[in-house]
Structure 1
Amino acid sequence: MTHGQQYLSEKVINLKPSGIRRFFDLASGMEGVISLGVGEPDFVTSWAIREASILSLEQGYTAYTANAGLIELRREISKYMKNRFEVSYSPEEEIIVTVGASQALDLAVRATINPGDEVIIVEPCFVAYASIVQLAGGIPVPVQTTAENEFKLQPEQIEEVITPRTKAILICSPNNPTGSMLVKSELEKIADIVKKHDLIVFSDEIYAELSYEDSYASFASIDEMWERTIVINGFSKGFAMTGWRLGFACGPSVFIQAMLKIHQHTMMCAPTMAQHGAVEAMKNGMDDVAHMQKSYLQRRNYFVKSLNEIGLDCHMPGGAFYAFPSIKRTGLTSEEFAQNLLMEEKVAVVPGDVFGESGAGHIRCSYATSMEQLKEAIKRMKRFVENLQVKA
């Protein structure tokens, strides 16, 4: 045992490190690497948002805000949720501004999950989901989606894992890492099971603004789901504000006020200057969002088509900025493929199995990079795959 380890929490000792970070660290020391591994926009936050934040500093807004966030920002979020997703939330009682969407999810889980409660997690999924549940004392119960269904959750899969201890289900749509998006009719089928078994829903909608189909719906907008759902969202993806660390959660007052208790004691409030920038984003930033979404759509169409052409089967993602191609025909594991591709062709991708067992045999590629870089990445990946065939 390492000196000092005896003092650590068992939860932390048993926590798995991020499988994504290892490949970032490998790639960071190499020259000429094209990274398709980073889960963040390649756009810089718009000048109007940056200027609003700078102005707030110049005007001396450097004190704490209300624990739940600037009331002006919460009012703008309320308008946004109503106009964009047709769901209504009180700015005073049903919205909380957090330090990124990850903190919003952490607060939601800790506010509702008791030790031993089971939370259904739809895999492949963001690497932090299971850890967040475990840190709250809950038990993550994975449901494995498949490429045959474009990694979309099937209602019967939920029924198969429900037990008397099941309390919640965690859904991300559009999904990281697969890009799959559940449309309203699919959400309605899931909602029927949620009602039947009296569950609550953590709905991670951080990629909502990067959906490429008109049929996108917030889970809270489904009949009878508002009172059971905590919506997790933020500014990182749609508004290209990853480094600002600003998210929010919306839900019934009983959930949000419980989350606020934890937030008060652990974080106090989200950064003041970031919140001022976010007010500008909510008021006037949607044109920039639309511009970025259009660019991602063009990249998605090119990149996914090209992956299929070089022999890496890939479904067309409905949202986010990820492609999740199969590498099974190469005979390599996801880890081997990603590591060899990085070492031989200097293209960084993420092994699919770090997102759950059902990700095995796949890799996650982010197309949130320039078209020039994507074309060069495809060129290198094609050469890599062809060389594998020659070796075979």
Structure 2
Amino acid sequence: MRDVGRRVAAARRARRMTQADLALSAGVSYATVRGIERGARRPSENTLHALAAALGRDPSRLAAGGGRPRDRINAAMPLLSSAIAAYDMPEDGPVRPLAELRVSVSEAESLRLGAQYVRLAQLMPDLLAELARALYPARGLERAEVARLLVAAYRAADAVAYKNGAHDLSGRLVELMRWAADQAGNERLTAAAAYVRTEVYFAAGAYRPGLRALEIALDSAPPVVGAPTAAARGALHMRAAVIAGRASDEGAAYLHLGEAAHLAESVPEGVYDGTAFGPDSVRIHRVSTAVALGGEHVRDALAVAREWAPPSEMPNERRSGFYVELARAQLWSGRREAAFASLRAARRIAPQHIREHPWAHEDTMTLRRLQRAADTELTAFAEWIGALG
């Protein structure tokens, strides 16, 4: 712990920051910074990333060993591939009781929603293999429950693959998620799988086929009989609004956004079957849709941000995504300082998410090209995110 504290203190002094400055920039308490530097407190991975981002350093340079986060995630990719290759013919091994498997899958979902991809990458290969072993002999209600856990686990593994550019592996995981949803016999999980499958279309730039796939999924989605089913349909409408925007279909984009907003009126903000939905999530997708449409619609994204900001209770991945999208709208509107402030906010919330986000890279590079004088903070940010050049 003392080695980490010494590295943090040295990096802080090199940036001519006080402990209070570092705490404010990283979004942590003064007591946390002081405790870490004294060696009395071990930083969590999220705190370490926040400190590293504030200091313009790679987290591995502050931690004792471990390597760059991307390298650690890439090291897990072959293990993930091996685990899913044997999804229907798992090797022998231990299987914990169902209650313990639920806890592990819940932890994985929390890591996904919190954009903790390094820990997720390390956890998922063994968990996927164990769940495959649990499913193989299961029958009846037990099989449906294990399949439900597999849907969530495949989705968590997909987040690691997709966010880090392994789109072929992501596509395989999405198909297994759909297969597991079918094994569970759960219409809401089938809708969730259709929501995630849209990643495949985004990655390929196949926006119109992606919109058609979502509209087909909406036709077969369960009827609304309560918050979970309303959330299942509402999430599909949110996703359809964004991909319709990418397809330059303004009518479809706002039609789906309106349907999502209507459904959200009766659904408290929360996570339903692994997807955040509610009034706040719809506001974020209003920004995403406006940015997807571009042009004069960008003003709508800025209008949302003037009146509202995502609350801290929302999942970090979604909150961070809001600020990345907002930064793009601000940059397009000539508001460079505001755009950089939004990118810094995204970094404070979910460093691992923004560091691999292609838009964050592109917009940081654009900001550096447009700057008229040396900006040490922007340069440090660009170095951290890997956008120098």
User: So what's the TM-score if we normalise by structure 1?
Assistant: 0.28
More strand by share: 1
More helix by share: 2
User: So what's the TM-score if we normalise by structure 2?
Assistant: 0.29
